[in-house]
């Protein structure tokens, strides 16, 4: 089931980036909800919030290492759906942004809420997965059970 989620998120990410690249002009906002939400095509050459610009080889290497570690962890704890889902979301996002970096040398961002840096579907998946994982790790009695726990 987690592989289906990964494939769906990855497909949605790549499809929306394709549409953004085809329909939008670089750095020209297209208002969707005036003053609140725009579609703005941005070529992000850094990491989150544009930090460490033009470090593509580093980001490619770090992404490959992260993908490998997440994959190993998924294989080891695949019996726990909620934990695996959190990792699967992070995995899908990491792969989506890695594809951009390898093909273009930058990540395509286009969702612009104007009070936050422009982002994409992959970034959203990573963020949601990281929040789920953080909740899981910080809340022992949460519905996100630990990878080593078993239902009684």
pLDDT tens-digit profile of 20-59? Answer: 999 999 999 999 999 999 999 999 987 766 666 777 888 8
| pLDDT given for residue 59 in this prediction | 86
Dihedral sign from CA coordinates of 19, 25, 26, 32: negative
| pLDDT given for residue 126 in this prediction | 95
Q: How buried is residue 76: exposed, middle or buried, by Cβ count under 10 Å (0-12/13-18/19+)? A: exposed
Instruction: Measure CA of the first residue to CA of the last residue in the chain; give whole Å.
Output: 23
| pLDDT given for residue 78 in this prediction | 66
Q: Which residue in 38, 100, 109, 112 is the catalytic one? A: 109
- 59/105 Cα distance (integer angstroms): 10
| pLDDT given for residue 51 in this prediction | 66
Q: For the chain, which residues make up each domain, given as ranges?
A: 2-138
Active-site residue flag, 109: yes
Q: Which residue in 38, 100, 112, 123 is the catalytic one? A: 123
pTM of the model as a whole: 0.85
| pLDDT given for residue 116 in this prediction | 92
| pLDDT by 10s per residue, the chain, length 152 | 889 999 999 999 999 999 999 999 999 999 999 999 999 999 998 776 666 677 788 889 999 999 999 989 888 876 778 889 999 999 999 999 999 999 999 999 999 999 999 999 999 999 999 999 998 888 766 554 445 544 43
Active-site residue flag, 112: no
| pLDDT given for residue 18 in this prediction | 98
């Amino acid at each position: 089931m987690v592989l289906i989620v990964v494939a769906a998120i990855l497909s949605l990410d790549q499809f929306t980036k394709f549409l953004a690249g085809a329909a939008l002009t670089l750095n020209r906002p297209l208002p969707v909800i005036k003053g609140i939400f725009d579609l703005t095509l941005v070529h992000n050459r850094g990491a989150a919030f544009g930090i460490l610009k033009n470090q593509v080889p580093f980001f490619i290497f770090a992404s490959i290492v992260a993908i490998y570690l997440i994959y190993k962890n998924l294989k080891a704890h695949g019996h726990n759906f909620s934990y695996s889902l959190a990792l699967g979301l992070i995995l899908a996002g990491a792969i989506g942004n890695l594809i951009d970096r390898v093909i273009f040398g930058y990540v395509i961002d286009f969702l612009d809420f104007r009070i936050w840096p422009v982002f994409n579907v992959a970034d959203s998946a990573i963020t949601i997965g990281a929040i789920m994982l953080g909740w899981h790790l910080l809340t022992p009695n949460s519905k996100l059970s630990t990878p080593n726990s078993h239902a009684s």
